[in-house]
Amino acid sequence: MKPSYRFSLSKTAALLVMAATLAACGQPEQAPPAAAAPEVGVHTVQTEPLTLVTVLPGRSAAFRIAEVRPQVNGIVEKRLFEEGAEVEKGQQLYQIDDAVHQAEYDRARANLVTTERLAKRYQRLQKTSAISQQQYDDAMAAWKQAQAQAELARINVVYTKVLAPISGRAGRSTVSEGALVTNGQATEMVTVQQIDPIYVDVQQPVTEVLRLRKEMANGRLELAGADQAKASLRLEDGSIYPHAGTLQFSEVTVDPGTSSVTLRAEFPNPDGDLLPGMFV
């Protein structure tokens, strides 16, 4: 006869609960993991200059231009310079035939000697009342007039030597030896241009110019001089001109048709790389 096994369901569940409780009591309690520390970045704030750049098209222009014209009438005898060469102020460019002007000067000097002697003679006679006051006054006036005529004749002789009024580069000569020139003629004999330094003229809306002037007054634009800002130049082939210039706000005029102004920048041109009329 086989033995029979009987278990109580309630007793079995109780044993399982007790075993689980004992197992839990036998292990130490673990703390929850700690949160990671946040990463903090530190930045030092300081002021730095901000460069404001405006790119504008323009053309170069000579710093000074002198159109040389004759101041006396005559025939050109010589041309004393090379076209395209540098000339200095006071350098003789042409020689005009001075024969007629020299003769007029000699005649004026002779008349000056005559009137001077007469005036001095009348001056001695006037002290003794040998002549009238009117004769004395006429003699003195004639002497002064002769002095002026002699000086004018001397100046005309000097003007036969046509001199360069400024230093610069001489252009193409419009007259040659044997040409007749007259005082006050419309056509210049030659043009001399000073291109070191040289100007660059650009167009900009007047509203932008007013904004720049306000920023200059507030100190937010670096000044290169009195009422001037720094300027750089890019040539037509894309290369950068090696010499820095200054933008002169004082030389601006408003065009009523376009409401724009002409800004004039000045650049050094020691090597003559920039020529008048270049697009930059």
pLDDT tens digit string along 227-257? 567 889 999 999 999 999 988 766 667 888 8
Residues 137-159: tens digit of each pLDDT? 999 999 999 999 999 999 999 99
Domain ranges of the chain: 58-62+194-267, 99-158
Question: pLDDT band at 2, cuts 50/70/90?
Answer: very low
In CATH terms, are 58-62+194-267 and 99-158 the same topology? no
How far is it, in rounded angstroms, from Cα 3 to Cα 114? Answer: 181
Query: Are residues 162 and 96 in contact, defined by beta-carbon separation less than 8 angstroms?
Result: yes
Measure the CA dihedral 262/264/269/274, to 10°: -10
Q: Is the confidence at residue 280, as pLDDT, over 90? A: yes
Distances (CA, A) of 260 to 199, 213, 277: 18, 15, 20
- CATH no. of 99-158: 1.10.287.470
- CATH no. of 58-62+194-267: 2.40.30.170
Q: Which residues pair with 191 in a beta bridge?
A: 67
Residues 163-212: tens digit of each pLDDT? 999 999 999 999 999 999 999 899 999 999 999 999 999 888 888 878 87
Residues 3-49: tens digit of each pLDDT? 444 444 455 444 444 554 544 455 555 666 666 777 888 888 888 77
pLDDT at 1: 47
How far is it, in rounded angstroms, from Cα 173 to Cα 79? Answer: 9
